[in-house]
Every structure is written in C-alpha cells, then in structure tokens.
Amino acid sequence: MAKVRQFVIDERGVKVAVVLDIAEYEKLLEDLDDLQAIQEYEEAKASGETAIPLEQALSEIRSHRK
C-alpha cells in the first residue's frame, strides 16, 4: 500500500511540516541512530588510535568519576 504524504502548510501555502505515522517516525529515528553509530565507527577507525577492551574503558571511566 502506498503511503500518503501529508504536509502542514502556512498561510502562504508553503510546506512547513510533515505528518508521519508513529511507526514510520520511530523507524526514521532507528535508522538515524544506526547511521550515527556507523559514522562514529568510521571516525574512530580513521583516527588511527589503538582500541582498548570495553571492560578496560569502563574501568577507566569509573576511576575518573570518583
């Protein structure tokens, strides 16, 4: 089934917002989160820094909080 696109327009007829089905909105948020994680991974990989194990990273974070 094709999705109907609904827009909110201002008094001049200019589109200013879009109305989304909540499931479509949540899917967009998930996709955005996935893309952000991919971008962060690519940036970390390109930085050339040496990776450390997760437990070591968490331990270091905890020690700096005290």
35 lies in some domain: yes
65 lies in some domain: no
36 lies in some domain: yes
Say if residue 46's pLDDT is above 80. Answer: yes
AA letter at 31: D
**In contact, 9 and 15? CB cutoff 8 Å:** yes
57: how many CB neighbours lie within 10 A of its CB? Answer: 11
Domain containing 26: what range?
A: 22-47
Say if residue 1's pLDDT is above 60. Answer: no
The strand ranges marked E within the chain are: 6-9, 15-19
Domains: count for the chain:
1
43 lies in some domain: yes
34 lies in some domain: yes
37 lies in some domain: yes
28 lies in some domain: yes
Single pTM value for the model: 0.61
Residues 7-33: pLDDT tens digits? 999 999 999 999 999 999 999 999 999
The reported pLDDT for the residue numbered 14 is 98
